[in-house]
Homo-oligomer: A and B are copies of this chain.
Amino acid sequence: MTITNGRDLTPVLDRVDRTLEASLERLFAFLRIPSISAQPAHAGDCRRAAEWLCAELAGIGLDASVRETPGHPMVVAHDRGAAEGPHVLFYGHYDVQPVDPLDLWHSAPFEPQLVRDGDGERIVARGASDDKGQVMTFVEALRALRAEFGTLPLRVSMVIEGEEESGGANLLPFLQANRDELHADVALICDTGMLEGGVPAITTALRGMVGEEVVIRGADRDLHSGIYGNAARNPLEVLCRILGAVRDPATGRVLLQGFYDGVQDPPEAVRAQWRAIAPSDAGFLGPVGLSVPAGEQGYSAVEQTWCRPTFEINGISGGYAGDGFKTVLPAEASAKISFRLVSGQDPARIRDAFRAHVRAMLPADCTVRFTPHG
């Protein structure tokens, strides 16, 4: 018998099992909406996802609304529940990442599939595990609880944003503007994963992100590398030199001024717990074809990703990338880079340190543009 707040949960769990087919159909409908927040062409799809979710929440009796922001809208919902219980604020997001390169997908990203393989049955679709699946798990739990019990033993509010994958610039202003409405005793973020299939996890800290696009410009037009090569500054080469110098290849440490200021290691007791429950380097990296932790020496793969800040290059483009070859010396080269930050780091100072690093290495005749992305 499973108990919550003195009540027997068995009928709720039975209902969840009994109605699984309908729950899956709802999740699949949600997954079919291509709510790619980073791509302006999908702005209408983002709104459609918000409206779909709002209608679902209203349908199970919550006080739900789509709320405007300067970007994609928020979905806010309240279940007043027991007046005296604690107030839980649930956070999730309805937007998803872009899907290219499409040729690496085995099925269409917005046509959800149930795939059975060695690990059991999985749902394959863009957003299934980040974050529509998690959001709908919570929604279906609310639906079953309300169907069996009528009211909840606590108050629940939900904020589901549409810009988690594109910087989330409007989340903090929205929370601040609606401070009284959303004030809660506990915030529950379910945009996280499990340790492995069958091993649930309670995530107690998340890394933050500073994203940046950097564009290096040399000549005022694309040049022929046979005519200008050597004498004309090549922005791709400049970009490589600058980005290749952010990290010390020997130690794996990020070399930006003050990057590790305020960063502390977790207590040894926590590190010991992690060693007991978390995958080994081989267990973490092996499944994706790797073996050696690439980050700071002295930290395991799990420590490098759970508690250490890092620098990543997320994309580079410039010059010719099509079939064959083109002897172009491009006018511009651009990169999207990001930092994952941990407690104690100041995102604004990290961004400034990166920009200072770029400017310090910029040779004559080059200019640089920065665009922040979260």
Q: Which residues of A contact B (CB under 8 A)?
A: 37-40, 97-98, 100, 104, 130, 165-167, 193, 207, 209, 211, 213, 218-234, 236-237, 239-247, 249, 252, 281, 284-285, 288-296, 301-302, 304-305, 308-310, 312-330, 333-336, 338, 340, 363-365, 373-374
Listed by A's residue number, 18 A-B pairs whose Cβ atoms lie within 8 Å are: A38-B322, A100-B322, A165-B327, A167-B324, A209-B226, A230-B312, A230-B340, A231-B293, A231-B301, A232-B290, A236-B314, A236-B335, A244-B245, A314-B330, A315-B328, A316-B317, A325-B336, A325-B338
The 5 closest A-B pairs by CB, nearest first: A38-B324, A315-B319, A220-B289, A230-B295, A230-B310
Question: Is the Cβ of B288 less than 8 Å from the Cβ of A228?
Answer: yes
Say whether, besides A314-B325, A329-B314, A338-B225, A220 and B288 are in contact (CB < 8 Å).
Answer: yes
Residues of B within 8 A of A317 (CB): 316-317, 321
Number of copies of this protein chain within its complex: 2
Say whether, besides A232-B285, A289-B219, A38 and B326 are in contact (CB < 8 Å).
Answer: yes
Say whether, besides A240-B239, A318-B315, A363-B294, A324 and B220 are in contact (CB < 8 Å).
Answer: no
Residues of B within 8 A of A223 (CB): 288
Out of B220, B233, B240, B284, name the residue touching A231 (CB < 8 Å).
Answer: B284
Closest residue of chain B to A101, judged by CB? B222
**Bound-complex Cα distance A329 to B246 (A):** 16
Question: Is the Cβ of B234 less than 8 Å from the Cβ of A313?
Answer: yes
**Bound-complex Cα distance A234 to B294 (A):** 8
Residues of B within 8 A of A247 (CB): 237
Closest residue of chain B to A290, judged by CB? B365
Out of B241, B249, B288, name the residue touching A232 (CB < 8 Å).
Answer: B288
Out of B104, B165, B166, B316, name the residue touching A321 (CB < 8 Å).
Answer: B316
Chain B CB count within 10 A is highest, among A245, A296, A317, for A317
Question: Is the Cβ of B290 less than 8 Å from the Cβ of A319?
Answer: no
Question: Is the Cβ of B39 less than 8 Å from the Cβ of A304?
Answer: no
Say whether, besides A39-B322, A231-B295, A336-B325, A225 and B314 are in contact (CB < 8 Å).
Answer: yes
Closest residue of chain B to A300, judged by CB? B231
**Bound-complex Cα distance A321 to B313 (A):** 11
Residues of B within 8 A of A304 (CB): 230-231
Closest residue of chain B to A237, judged by CB? B313
Say whether, besides A285-B231, A289-B219, A291-B365, A313 and B322 are in contact (CB < 8 Å).
Answer: no
Q: A165-B327, A229-B312, A241-B244 given. 19 additional CB < 8 A pairs? A: A39-B322, A39-B323, A98-B322, A100-B320, A165-B325, A219-B288, A223-B288, A229-B310, A230-B295, A230-B296, A231-B293, A237-B313, A240-B244, A243-B244, A244-B244, A315-B330, A316-B316, A316-B318, A325-B373
